[in-house]
Amino acid sequence: MLRTHTCGQLNISNLGETVTLCGWVQKSRDLGGTTFIDVRDRYGLTQLVLNTDTDADLREAGRQLGREFVIKVTGKVVERSNKNTKIATGEIEITVTELEILNAAKIPPFLIEDETDGGEELRAKYRYLDLRRNPIRNNLVLRHKMAQEIRKYLDGLDFIEVETPVLIKSTPEGARDFVVPSRMNPGEFYALPQSPQTFKQLLMVSGFDRYFQIVKCFRDEDLRADRQPEFTQIDCEMSFITQEDILNIFEGLTRHLFRNVKGLELGDFPRMQYADAMRLYGSDKPDTRFGMEFVELNDVVKGKGFGIFDNAELVVGINAKGCAGYTRKQIDELTEWMKRPQIGATGLIYARHNEDGSIKSSVDKFYNEEELAKWSAAFQTEKGDLILILAGSTDKVRKQLNELRLEIGGRLGLRDKNKFAPLWVLDFPLLEWDEETERYHAMHHPFTSPKPEDIAMLDTDPKNVRANAYDLVINGTEIGGGSIRIHDRALQSLMFKHLGFSPEEAQKQFGFLMDAFEYGAPPHGGIAFGFDRLTSIFAGLDSIRDVIAFPKNNSGRDVMIDSPSTIADTQMNELKIKTTVSLS
């Protein structure tokens, strides 16, 4: 080893020892005849001292060191006169007797410090430098610890970690596939897996009754803060179980991670029906760190001559506690925020519960005091509260009000990143109607089992068939989702039929799985956690990028290595493919 200790290891117990450290120069300071240098590695930071009176040449060599030079130093551990209690090595420093430059460095394009001056795109281009900063490095250490605890917990319950293929068959599972041409099979393509779904089900058919994998998945879809084209799942499957078994085991995994990684004991994991989540929060992943539940007003406000309410399918609102003091300017700003294309609201109706007890609304022309008192009763307002109301088609207006609720919750400081509110959402619809294709699609995936009591409705009332499906939500983020699977050929064929597959198409796409079901497939089900999302919640981040070593940007590009990129004509010829790029 080139070093005897790391830069975060030494303390007062090492006084008098001669040690060798290796690391990067964080910064240096000249004070009279003395130069102080901070040397850093991933374990911490240690202060070095070079003195003219002791060795003038050595001190002069130290003065020539720039930021991020890689150095090796030997010296004696001495006690600092001005101790730094903020770092583990703050009671000592090293009086340097030998200095070797292992590698010089150009001036970095941004400060390698916790609070950097580098913008996001610049730091992405030099990600290897960004990874030297404590916040990013600590996120990856956190990710490592979580992965170890996941394996420990699942191994303790007899789960077996099995790797599944990365080059697979393209199948319609929801998002677009990334495809890979095959040189040995011209004109044919592999796909990168959106998930190991069919393989983990085949493992259940094979008798591996408890499988897991921390696995890379790939989806060619539009990106946002909690999406990347390649992401990591904690993928799990079990045989001979019920939904209740899965909820209990993976609630246990979540508790284990919070206990052993964050030192927190979680409270209850409430359970909520999908229908109630949409009715009360307008989202299938509600943030329950705060209340502000929806109040539906159709029975209260319709029939008074106000066309916006009278013509709406749903009139619904929230009580923004303590916000009656919002100025007209603030409400107008909030209204414009709601009208942005991302949300698409056409307007915002409000009513204040004033300190004198009166209720004043933006539509007083249509509603008298007695009628506004009914609004107050419906929302259970108190003096100082502000009612905010939207009207329109049910699905659309619920989604819009969900955005408003989250925005108000953020403005009121109710979305505390140090508070954790887990929630199971159950009984999702099995199918959802797609207006573009004019047919039903699986809300989760085509292998999800319907509730046994709802199977008969597949032919008569498909939109009301419930799935044996469940999601784990924490702080308004979907952390994991899964279902009890279909495990017999007849029901799987019926499911494909209702998804618009002909028998021939179903056999071509999924014949391997349906054939397997004829050789004794056990009842089975599973769940997949979004490992990146879960880690970002533990780290208190809004984006998953900084818990991934080398993430892509919003365009799906790695700007550090400039990927994706074109390939040489010789490779294209070997693959027997040509490209025609249309920008329209």
| Inter-axis angle of helices 503-517 and 489-498, nearest 10 | 150
Q: How do beta strands 422-426 and 271-273 pair?
A: parallel
Burial of 353 by CB count in 10 Å (0-12 exposed, 13-18 middle, 19+ buried)? buried
| Inter-axis angle of helices 394-411 and 274-281, nearest 10 | 60
Separation of alpha carbons 530 and 481, rounded Å: 9
Residue bearing tokens 């409400």: 331
Separation of alpha carbons 446 and 486, rounded Å: 9
The reply to whether 220 sits in an annotated binding site is yes
Q: How do beta strands 230-239 and 210-218 pair?
A: antiparallel
The reply to whether 533 sits in an annotated binding site is yes
Residue 538 CA, chain-centre distance (Å), reads 10
Helix (H, G, I), strand (E, B) or coil at 472: strand
The reply to whether 228 sits in an annotated binding site is yes
CA-to-CA dists, residue 238 to 220, 242, 523, 577, angstroms: 28, 9, 9, 41
The reply to whether 530 sits in an annotated binding site is yes
Residues 467, 397 contacting (CB under 8 angstroms): no
Q: Which amino acid is at 449?
A: S
Residues 198, 171 contacting (CB under 8 angstroms): yes
The reply to whether 485 sits in an annotated binding site is yes
The reply to whether 441 sits in an annotated binding site is no
CB atoms within 10 A of CB 457: 16
Helix (H, G, I), strand (E, B) or coil at 531: helix
The reply to whether 492 sits in an annotated binding site is no
Per-residue 3-state assignment (H helix, E strand, C coil) for 25-84: EEEEEEECCEEEEEEEECCEEEEEEEECCCCHHHHHHHHCCCCCCEEEEEEEEEECCCCC
The helix, strand and coil proportions of the chain, stated in percent and rounded to the nearest 5, come to 30, 25, 45
The reply to whether 558 sits in an annotated binding site is no
Separation of alpha carbons 261 and 313, rounded Å: 47
- Count H helices and E strands in the chain, helices first: 17, 22
The reply to whether 444 sits in an annotated binding site is yes
The reply to whether 489 sits in an annotated binding site is no
The reply to whether 289 sits in an annotated binding site is no
- Which distant-in-sequence residues (6+ apart) come within 8 Å of 328 by Cβ? none
The reply to whether 221 sits in an annotated binding site is yes
Separation of alpha carbons 420 and 233, rounded Å: 21
Residues in the chain: 584
User: Which residue numbers belong to the known binding site for ATP?
Assistant: 219-221, 228, 478, 530-533
User: Which residue numbers belong to the known binding site for L-aspartate?
Assistant: 173, 219, 444, 485
User: Which residue numbers belong to the known binding site?
Assistant: 173, 219-221, 228, 444, 478, 485, 530-533
